[in-house]
Structure 1
Amino acid sequence: MIVFIALQFFRPARTQSPAEPGPDDFALRYAVPEPFRRQLQESCYDCHSNHPRYPWYANVQPIGWWLQSHVNDGNDHLNLSEFGRYSPDKRADKIDSMIDELTFRTMPLKTYSWLHPAARLTKSESDALVDWLQHLRDSMDTD
C-alpha cells in the first residue's frame, strides 16, 4: 500500500496544449465535414492530437503512465494537431494509413473503444469516413 501511495507522486507529463487547435490541425486544414469531424474527435483525437481528454483514472498511477505511453505512441505515428506540418508526401502516406486502419478496423484500439463507447464506429460510419479520406487523398497535391 505504501508503494502504491508513493507512486501517486510520480506523474507523467501530459500531452496537452493550452491553446485551441491551430491551422495545422487536420480538421481545420481540410474543412472536415461535421459528422466526420465528430467521429475523428471521439475516435482519434485522444491518442492522436495535442488535445487529449484525460479520464479521471489517468490520475491514478500506474494507469496514468500506461495511458500517457499510448498517447505518446499514438502521436509518434500520427499527430492530427500537427498534420499540416507534415510534408505533402507524408500527409498522403498518413491518410493512406488512416484508410488502412479504418478498413481493417484496427483503430480505434479495442481497449479504447471498450472504455469510450462513443468512439466505436459502425461499419457504415467507418466506410463513409474511408470514402471521404480517399476522396481527400485523391485531391491532395503531393509535390
Structure 2
Amino acid sequence: MKVIKKIAKLLLLLFVAIQFFRPEKNINQGNHLAGFINETNPPENVKTILTHSCYDCHSNHTEYPWYNNIAPVSWWLSAHIKDAKAALNLSDWDNYNKGQKDRKLEEIIEV
C-alpha cells in the first residue's frame, strides 16, 4: 500500500511539474481567412463550416478550447495544429501557386 501511495504522489508531482512547460500558441492578429474567402467565394454554409471547423487548425490564429491549458493536452493540440498548417494554411492562401491552390481545393472538397 505504501508503494502505491508513493507512486501516486510521484505521478501527481510529475503532473504538476509538466504544467510549467507550455508550447508556443498559434495566435496572430488579422483576418487570416480573407484571401481564401475572396478568391474562392464559397456559399455561406460552407464559409460557416470553414470558419467553425477548419480555421482554428489551418490558419495562423487559433481560438483554443479551455482544456488547452492542461498539459499534456496542450502539447497534443500544438502538434496537431503544426501538422494541420503544414498540410493547409488558409492564412498563406495568397502565397500558394495556382497548382497548389487547385490541389488544396480538391483535398478540401474530398474532406
**TM class, shorter-chain normalised?**
0.7 to 0.9
Q: State how many pairs are aligned.
A: 100
The residue that corresponds to 1:61 in the other structure is 71
What is the alpha-carbon distance in structure 1 between the residues aligned to residue 68 and residue 51 of structure 2? 19
Equivalent residue number for residue 37 of structure 2:
27
Query: CA shift at 1:22, angstroms?
Result: 6.3
Match of 1:131 in 2: none
Aligned: 1:12 with 2:51: no
- 1:1-143 equivalences in 2 (<5 Å): 1-21=12-32, 23=34, 25-101=35-111
RMSD between aligned residues: 1.5
Normalised TM-score (structure 1)? 0.64
Q: Structure 1: which 5+ runs fail to align?
A: 102-143
Large movers: runs of 4+ above 3 Å: none
Determine the C-alpha separation between the residues in 2 that align with 1:12 and 1:87: 31
CA distance in 2 between counterparts of 1:52 and 1:17 reads 8
Larger radius of gyration: 2
Change beyond 3 A, Cα 1:6–1:71: same
| Higher RCO (CA-CA < 8 Å; seq separation 6+) | 2
Residues 100 and 15 of structure 1: CA distance in aligned 2, closer, same or farther (over 3 Å): same
Identity of aligned residues (%): 38
Structure 2: any 5+ residue segments left out of the alignment? 1-11
